[in-house]
Amino acid sequence: MRIPDYRNIVPGAVEGVYSIGRAVAQTPLGQNEPILLEFVRLRASQINGCAFCIDMHTKDARALGESDERMHLVQVWREAPCFSDRERAALAWTEHLTNIAHNHDDQAAFDAVSQHFSLEEVMALTWQIVEINTWNRLARTSGMEPGHYVSRKKPLAATTTA
C-alpha cells in the first residue's frame, strides 16, 4: 500500500465520501435501481483503471443478480444491445463526468441524460459518479489490490406480474 491506512489519516474526509454513498442509496434511484448504480461505478472504475473497484463492483453486481454477460459488456455499452436507453444515458453521463477535462458540451450531455432521468435522479447519478471517482483515486494511489473483496449485497427480490 502506497499510502498506509488512508482511512485513518484524515478520517473526516473519508466519512464524507461514505456519506455521499449513503445519501445516494436513500434516493429513489438508489432504492429502486441498484444495478444501474453498480454499472455507473463499474464504468467509471474502468475509465480510471481502478482494478480494486472493478473487482468490487462486478462482485456487487453479480451478488445483486446481474449476469456476467452484461457486466463484461459495460466497457463497450454503445455496441452492446443488452442495455436499456436509461442505462445507456446513465453510462454516457458517467463517461462525460469522469472524462470531464476532455468534454466541453456540458449542456448537451445534461440534456441527453435529462431525457431519461428526473432532475433528482440526475443529481443522484452525479453524486454517485463523484463518489466513485473519489474512491477510484483513493484506491489507486493507496495501492489497494483486487481479489480480496467479498460482497455483502443480497440478491434483488424477483418481481412478479399479476
Task: Give tens-digit pLDDT for 46-76.
Answer: 999 999 999 999 999 999 999 999 999 999 9
Q: 58 in a domain, yes or no?
A: yes
What is the reported pLDDT for 34? 96
Q: Mutual orientation of helices 11-25 and 119-142 as an angle, nearest 10°?
A: 140
Q: Structurally, how many domains does the chain consist of? A: 1
Q: 30 in a domain, yes or no?
A: yes
What is the reported pLDDT for 1? 53
Give the cell for residue 31.
Answer: 432504492
The Cα 61–Cα 71 span in angstroms is 8
Q: 147 in a domain, yes or no?
A: no
pLDDT at 44 over 70: yes
Task: Give tens-digit pLDDT for 73-132.
Answer: 999 999 999 999 999 999 999 999 999 999 889 999 999 999 999 999 999 999 999 999
Q: Which DSSP letter does residue 3 get?
A: S
Q: 79 in a domain, yes or no?
A: yes
What is the reported pLDDT for 146? 85
Q: Which residue type does 140 have?
A: R
What is the reported pLDDT for 76? 97
Domain, as residue range, for 126: 9-142
Q: 152 in a domain, yes or no?
A: no
Contact of 117 with 90, CB cutoff 8 Å: yes
What is the reported pLDDT for 162? 42
